[in-house]
Structure 1
Amino acid sequence: SIIHDTITDQLSCSIEASLDLFNPSTTYKIGQRFQILLQQLFTSDLTNETCQSIHKSSIILPNEKLLMESVNNTQTLFSSSTHCIQHEFIQQVNKQSQKIAIELDEQSLTYNELLYYAQCLSLEFLTNSNYIPGNVVCQCIDRSISMFIGMLSIIMAGGCYCSLSPRDHEHRLQSLIEQTQSNLVLVDWTTQNKFEEKTMIININTMIINNNNNETININHFDLFSTFTLNSKNVAFVIFTSGSTGTPKAVQIMHYNLLNCMSSFNDLGILTKNDTVIQMAQCTFDIHVKECLGTLLVGGSVIQLHPEGTMDYDYLSKIVQRHHITFFSVVPSVMTILYNYLIDRKQMTRLNTIRKFIFLGEAIDTRTLAKMITTLNLDTTAFYNLYGPAETTIISIHHRVTVHEINYGLIPIGLPFPNTQIHLFDSFNQSVIVGQEGELLISGSGVFAGYLGRDDLTNKALIEINDKRFYQTGDLARMGSNGLVYYLGRKDHQVKIHGQRIELDEIQRCLLDTSISACVVIKWGNDHLIAYVQSNDNNVEYLRDHCRSRLPPFMVPSRFIVLEKFPLNANGKLDRKLLPQPNFSSSSIKTTDIQHTNPNNSIEEQLLSIWCEILHRNNNNNNEQDEISTSANFFTVGGHSLLFIQLYHRYQSIFSFTNELLSIALFLQKTTIIEHAKLLNSIKSTDVIREETWQSLHLIKGMASFAQERIYLDQQVRFMNNVSVYNELIILKLLNGTLSKSHLQRAIQSVLEKHQILRTCLILDTDAGTLTQCVTQNHLMFMFNTEKTFKNDNELNSLIFQIKTNP
């Protein structure tokens, strides 16, 4: 209530609040905010701001302003502020010329050797009539030593590096080249045939061979480097991100942006010259630049994996162990599968050399992290949660995760990088209070130069506040009372799948280029994209092929659902709630128009069973397996890349073959049961000597161990009077509160389901003279026996004795 004192001509305010709903500190803060609001209203210039909206008034408290100023007090100086990337790299060469810079299997280059080859190739550019310093040069090279040489040589020649994925369709590659207006494309022998004849290409493999056979570069060659000038504000590389307009956006990152980012990594101790980094990211992602160029700029060593090496967890984990990897950057969902794989095979020690686990791209799975901290040395191992869109140069917010946060299950994205400032704004472009949700805006030395050729999109993405450029991320976040930022989600329809940023509008516009009249794409669960299309034509395969030719693989919808007419609400707009839910196990919704085929032999039947297990189709429905055609593509029946990795390792487990004999790449090229059966049949006649024995991860029956035989025999011979000496009896007494028997029963059932040993029984075959152990399903029938009750301690002791002697 507000009271006007006519004598003193003053206003007084009192706030009454129910302590059942508010604690005193909250009520006090409400009063403070109201007072601040009144001060602004009564001290404002009434002549100029009479019509000002109340939303433009701030209710931020002085201590909150001080907290935000403290969080954004990140200004630091770094030595390479006027340098370019190649200058910083040459400095590292001068410091440690013979240190290994890059290694792949049996190949390696020192810093000095890498500089030599990069200079040779950059001279090729400078003498090529189609090359213009400052222009974009695209590179389409798979994982290799050559990829590093090409990347560095483009930048040394004053060009702008842009990586293209060898996995992309030719149509998409050509579209991206045209968008960058690139005059040259750097290729190798495996990718040179992916481009049209009009595209000017340079084969890096041919160049390296020619230079090995010719004389070394001399002082006269270096005159060519003086024919162009560069500064730290020149664009160094371009990264494509998904675009809401239907066309990918080319993010331009300057030399200054990357150098400041890597200087921050080094100053914070996250990535230093003492680190050995395994290169995990795909070449089209911004984190790829940090792993490759960034590691070299701080003086570290990079261990490259062969193509598809990130999907072969046996090969990957061996590389980590063999090369003593210390820095491991990974998407949390991939880390979960890798952890489960190594734990199942008792090989978690392969990761013991890692000192820094870097999680980025999506929310950390605290359940996996909680398990990991029990197997790793926390005194020497750190976990980092990093955040940053491509437009702010790889990483802009960081946080070192604590054990308390892991156990609590809530991990912030943290505090801004050096020379980075953040703001949280509401829908009225006003700063939000501590704890309130707002859009995350980022300013500082990481903010990009703009989208290549799209000034309209650049102007929408960047706004100016107090003479500083801020990038509007579209991410929603809140700031805690300690200044740490917590990610909350998106304000638009942009989604992420396995850490990969996807604009759903780009997929929709791609589909609208066909004959369909309307479409909508949604994210389903954590792993799938579902495309609803309105059309009279049910040719789903045509739609899928159209998307494959124009979109990267991770943006192709898992399922296409054709509807004659979209459901509309009363206003005539699409009612998303009425769209049919995708059901990957339902035969009522066909994913393809390919004729259904059943298994023709025992191995196809076995593979069908494995697919159903991986895709979680085994739910006691006899028709479940019949719904997966042996000619169906794994990725159209509910599969995705992480499930495919599990499928491959299940094949290895059951059919006992190494990745050297059959790599995962072969299975990715042929993704049906029929084709997988042919691949697996090819190894039947091959004499394979394995380094280790693979065992099934889901055995339910097997021979008893020696220890189990001894216990069984001991029980039969010495304890024939039904005394259960091997059972441990525990009594829990409830002192306070109430106990839900149904909840407790479900909890015990969950424990029994998780730990197979608790529901394993021993069966003696007297005819064969063998003792086998079998995993039962008794947990499904587990029930409490509530008939036995007691009135005093004597009756309780008697009841305990009966249970012990008659289990």
Structure 2
Amino acid sequence: MTDGPLRVAGDLEEDLDIAHTLHELIQAQADRTPEAIAVESGSQRIRYRELDLAARGFARALAERGVGARSPVGVWCDRGPNLLVALLGVLHAGAAFVPLDPDLPPARVRTMLAEARAGHCVVDVSPCGPVDGLDVEVIAVTGDAGDPLTVPVDPDDLVSIYYTSGSTGKPKGVANPHRGWVNRMRWMQQRHQLRPGEGVLHKTVLSFDDSAVELFWPLIVGGRVVMLERGLHRDPRAIARAATAHEVSVLQFVPSMLSLFLEEVAGSPPPTLRTVISSGEALRPELVRRFHEVFLDTDCSLHNQWGPTEASIDATIHTCSPEDAALPVIPIGRPLTNYRVHVLDESGMPVPPGVEGELYVGGVGLARCYWNDPAKTAEAFLPDPAVPGERLYRTGDRAVHGPDGAIIFLGRRDHQVKIRGNRVELGEIERTLVTHTDVTDAVVTVFEAQPGDKQLLGYVVGHGGTVDTEAVRHFLIERLPGYMLPARLIVLSELPLTASGKVDRNRLPAPSTEVAATGRPPRGESELLVAEAWGQFLPATDAEADFFELGGHSLLATRVISVLRRALNLDLPLVLLFDNPTIAGLALAVERELLSEHQGAPDE
């Protein structure tokens, strides 16, 4: 890289008073407003004083079970009041939390805890999954207050270790210090100005780093964390109802879910909502247009934020105007306070406006390292030649400067992709595939079954040219999170290669749109109605085919249920499709809902 000055997009430096730990700020807020509501979960309300005492009491219990300062501790809890008690208890014990998605298969949880070298894992009273084989000490969080404890730690000590998909076949642990996260939360307040008592909806799964903003930002400024009921984060109707019922002011979405939310609230947006944040995926201009149509004549604004976990969740922001809908690409904007963002060429030189380069991020928000992986840390975190003693994170994202200096995201330089907002290294899926005894070679690609609906496609080669794809699929389900599962597995006799011996992805066969029916076609009024809705998104010729094995996922399930809701004028729960994932089964479930609705209707 060059030793000369670098072109920086909107470099902002300001004293945001960040020489604190995250839990220290939340405890200080509890001291200021002990009787204010900190958490709402259904009909339950928890005051700041109660949350603070429960968290510090749980810290005592953790210390008594051997949790030491600066040690990693797994947290495998679903949404609910005990989640914040668990997270803040770990921090008050001086440790760093390792967030674990409630839906993760136990094998994946074991892998992540082993990679983190964690000796303990906190679970809810009703655990998310079997805990007997986790090979760590399991501690249930009850919320009972013991003698309060806070172990002193430094702002440069770790607050969390978030595991993201890794190209080597193992997840990467991004180790973030308190100082960077405090800067991030302070910036959120500087920019979005949450008022005391206002609500932020916590709906994002814990292992997705945006969840930290929903959980911690409100608590340092006297706001409310509104917990969406478990299992409803995929349901835009449930999100809209919670936002209205709990008078929520701020919502975060990945664009694919924002689209469904806008469909749901068109004509009656939540009245107290004034800030919507989009992140995790590219925000499309047509979605910006739709947002401003739905929120016309309101004070609600839309912000496009971008950034990797390695930079304390987000690093840039662009506030979207109605005029942005005419742009070919929505900018990701300019850096947050105390961040530096560079667009550099392959030799490390800054590029002029309009010329493509790679994004590098510097500043106080950078992670300390990849946990227990010094080689990968040295590869990704480089010395910043413009600021002696500081570092830059090489993101692997392609970008250009627009004419006004704002940054425009262009995509990836490698095989990392975003699936419904989740970062996925295709190499990790490929390496998992080839550990199956029947698979000798594999490659994974991305295709769009419909515009904006990115899905994973796996190509596998087996002994003698045959592979039991059903067995391989179940093998993956036991080892990978749902968003990393290929929608389809295609068996090849061999992978096409380039002249240099690399896989030629351009010559991989396109997936067939036809699916062999092994069951029977839909029949009867109910099945045909479900098949019509189902068929807008997936093949609907087999009444007994599994929705998820056909390539369905949570967002497509939401769309199918939304179509049925409109067709029947019936408030069908989203979980209906997850519990009944065939046309035949869903049709029976819909009939039961209709009967229940009819029986519950008042006599005229």
The residue number in structure 2 matching 1:559 is 488
Q: Following the alignment from structure 2 to structure 1, what is the Cα–Cα distance between the partners of residues 170 and 480?
A: 10
Q: Secondary structure at the match of 1:318?
A: helix
The residue number in structure 2 matching 1:355 is 274
- Matched letter for residue 496 of structure 2: P
Q: 1:123 to 1:456 in 2, by over 3 A?
A: same
The residue number in structure 1 matching 2:454 is 527
- Matched letter for residue 25 of structure 2: E
* 1:313-355 alpha-carbon deviations (Å, 9 max, x no partner): 3322121112221111111121112212333xxxx32323211
Q: 1:574 to 1:127 in 2, by over 3 A?
A: closer
2:581 to 650, 671, 675: 671
User: Is 1:489 the counterpart of 2:411 in the alignment?
Assistant: yes
2:441 to 490, 502, 518: 518
1:116 to 53, 76, 82: 53
Q: 1:275 to 1:486 in 2, by over 3 A?
A: farther
1:305 to 215, 228, 242: 228
Q: Following the alignment from structure 2 to structure 1, what is the Cα–Cα distance between the partners of residues 195 and 424?
A: 32
How many residues align structurally?
Answer: 591
CA contact 1:140–1:164 (8 Å) conserved in 2: yes
Q: Secondary structure at the match of 2:536?
A: helix
- Matched letter for residue 467 of structure 2: N
The residue number in structure 2 matching 1:96 is 33
CA contact 1:597–1:631 (8 Å) conserved in 2: yes
CA contact 1:282–1:288 (8 Å) conserved in 2: yes
Q: 1:188 to 1:433 in 2, by over 3 A?
A: same
Q: Following the alignment from structure 1 to structure 2, what is the Cα–Cα distance between the partners of residues 410 and 529?
A: 24
Q: 1:690 to 1:455 in 2, by over 3 A?
A: farther
Q: Following the alignment from structure 2 to structure 1, what is the Cα–Cα distance between the partners of residues 154 and 421?
A: 33
CA contact 2:420–2:483 (8 Å) conserved in 1: no
The Cα shift of 1:435 comes to: 2.1
User: Per chain length, whose mean CA-contact separation is higher, i.e. which structure has more relative contact order (CA < 8 Å, sep 6+)?
Assistant: 2
Q: 1:479 to 1:273 in 2, by over 3 A?
A: farther
Using the size of structure 1 for normalisation, the TM-score is 0.69
Q: 1:339 to 1:144 in 2, by over 3 A?
A: same
CA contact 1:333–1:365 (8 Å) conserved in 2: no
The residue number in structure 2 matching 1:805 is none
CA contact 1:496–1:502 (8 Å) conserved in 2: yes
The Cα shift of 1:91 comes to: 1.3
The Cα shift of 1:558 comes to: 0.2
Would you identify which runs of 4 or more consecutive aligned residues in structure 1 move more than 6 Å? Answer: 55-58, 689-692
Q: Secondary structure at the match of 2:154?
A: coil
* 1:744-778 alpha-carbon deviations (Å, 9 max, x no partner): xxxxxxxxxxxxxxxxxxxxxxxxxxxxxxxxxxx
CA contact 1:192–1:203 (8 Å) conserved in 2: no
Structure (1 or 2) with the greater strand fraction = 2
Q: Secondary structure at the match of 1:284?
A: coil
User: Is 1:391 the counterpart of 2:310 in the alignment?
Assistant: yes
User: Is 1:126 the counterpart of 2:63 in the alignment?
Assistant: yes
Q: 1:270 to 1:395 in 2, by over 3 A?
A: farther
CA contact 1:265–1:272 (8 Å) conserved in 2: no
1:403 to 319, 322, 343: 322
Q: Secondary structure at the match of 1:311?
A: coil
Q: Following the alignment from structure 1 to structure 2, what is the Cα–Cα distance between the partners of residues 657 and 117?
A: 41
Q: Following the alignment from structure 1 to structure 2, what is the Cα–Cα distance between the partners of residues 395 and 104?
A: 27
The residue number in structure 1 matching 2:16 is 78
* 1:210-252 alpha-carbon deviations (Å, 9 max, x no partner): x3xxxx65xxx45x54xx4310010011111111111111111
The residue number in structure 2 matching 1:479 is 401
The residue number in structure 2 matching 1:293 is 216
- Matched letter for residue 509 of structure 1: R
CA contact 1:183–1:199 (8 Å) conserved in 2: yes
Q: 1:285 to 1:318 in 2, by over 3 A?
A: same
Q: 1:202 to 1:282 in 2, by over 3 A?
A: same
Q: 1:70 to 1:611 in 2, by over 3 A?
A: closer
The residue number in structure 2 matching 1:586 is 514
Larger radius of gyration: 1
The residue number in structure 1 matching 2:357 is 438
Matches within 5 A, 1:40-439: 68=7, 71-72=10-11, 74-79=12-17, 81-128=18-65, 130-191=66-127, 194-197=130-133, 198-204=135-141, 207-208=142-143, 211=144, 217=146, 221-222=147-148, 225=150, 228-269=151-192, 271=194, 273=196, 275-343=198-266, 348-377=267-296, 380-439=299-358
CA contact 2:91–2:97 (8 Å) conserved in 1: yes
The Cα shift of 1:676 comes to: 2.0
- Matched letter for residue 86 of structure 1: H
- Matched letter for residue 667 of structure 1: L
The Cα shift of 1:602 comes to: 4.6
Q: Following the alignment from structure 1 to structure 2, what is the Cα–Cα distance between the partners of residues 502 and 550?
A: 14
The Cα shift of 1:106 comes to: 0.6
The Cα shift of 1:462 comes to: 0.5
The answer to which of 676-685 and 277-286 deviates more is 676-685
Q: Following the alignment from structure 2 to structure 1, what is the Cα–Cα distance between the partners of residues 487 and 537?
A: 16
* 1:126-176 alpha-carbon deviations (Å, 9 max, x no partner): 211x32222111111111111111111111111111111121111111111
Q: 1:428 to 1:630 in 2, by over 3 A?
A: same
- Matched letter for residue 643 of structure 1: L
The residue number in structure 2 matching 1:796 is none
The residue number in structure 2 matching 1:508 is 430
Q: 1:181 to 1:570 in 2, by over 3 A?
A: closer
Q: Following the alignment from structure 1 to structure 2, what is the Cα–Cα distance between the partners of residues 382 and 299?
A: 22
The residue number in structure 1 matching 2:561 is 648
Q: Following the alignment from structure 2 to structure 1, what is the Cα–Cα distance between the partners of residues 298 and 591?
A: 48
- Matched letter for residue 461 of structure 2: Q
User: Is 1:454 the counterpart of 2:377 in the alignment?
Assistant: no
Q: Following the alignment from structure 2 to structure 1, what is the Cα–Cα distance between the partners of residues 595 and 417?
A: 47
Q: Following the alignment from structure 2 to structure 1, what is the Cα–Cα distance between the partners of residues 374 and 2?
A: 29
The Cα shift of 1:272 comes to: 5.2
Q: Secondary structure at the match of 2:439?
A: coil
* 1:430-483 alpha-carbon deviations (Å, 9 max, x no partner): 221222111111110000011111111111110002322000000011112322
- Matched letter for residue 636 of structure 1: E
Q: Following the alignment from structure 1 to structure 2, what is the Cα–Cα distance between the partners of residues 271 and 91?
A: 17
Q: Secondary structure at the match of 2:217?
A: helix
Q: Following the alignment from structure 2 to structure 1, what is the Cα–Cα distance between the partners of residues 509 and 568?
A: 39
Q: Compute the RMSD of aligned alpha carbons.
A: 2.5
Q: Following the alignment from structure 2 to structure 1, what is the Cα–Cα distance between the partners of residues 337 and 307?
A: 13
User: Is 1:470 the counterpart of 2:392 in the alignment?
Assistant: yes
* 1:602-658 alpha-carbon deviations (Å, 9 max, x no partner): 53343333321343x5xxxxxxx5xx3222221232423211101123333445654
CA contact 1:125–1:131 (8 Å) conserved in 2: yes
User: Is 1:633 the counterpart of 2:546 in the alignment?
Assistant: yes
The answer to which of 507-516 and 678-687 deviates more is 678-687
Q: Secondary structure at the match of 2:596?
A: coil
Q: Secondary structure at the match of 1:334?
A: helix
Q: 1:428 to 1:564 in 2, by over 3 A?
A: same
Using the size of structure 2 for normalisation, the TM-score is 0.92
The Cα shift of 1:57 comes to: 11
The Cα shift of 1:420 comes to: 0.7
Q: Following the alignment from structure 2 to structure 1, what is the Cα–Cα distance between the partners of residues 548 and 30?
A: 45
Q: Secondary structure at the match of 1:413?
A: coil
Q: Secondary structure at the match of 2:192?
A: coil
Q: Secondary structure at the match of 1:432?
A: coil
Q: Following the alignment from structure 1 to structure 2, what is the Cα–Cα distance between the partners of residues 524 and 337?
A: 21
Q: Following the alignment from structure 1 to structure 2, what is the Cα–Cα distance between the partners of residues 377 and 609?
A: 33
Q: 1:690 to 1:282 in 2, by over 3 A?
A: farther
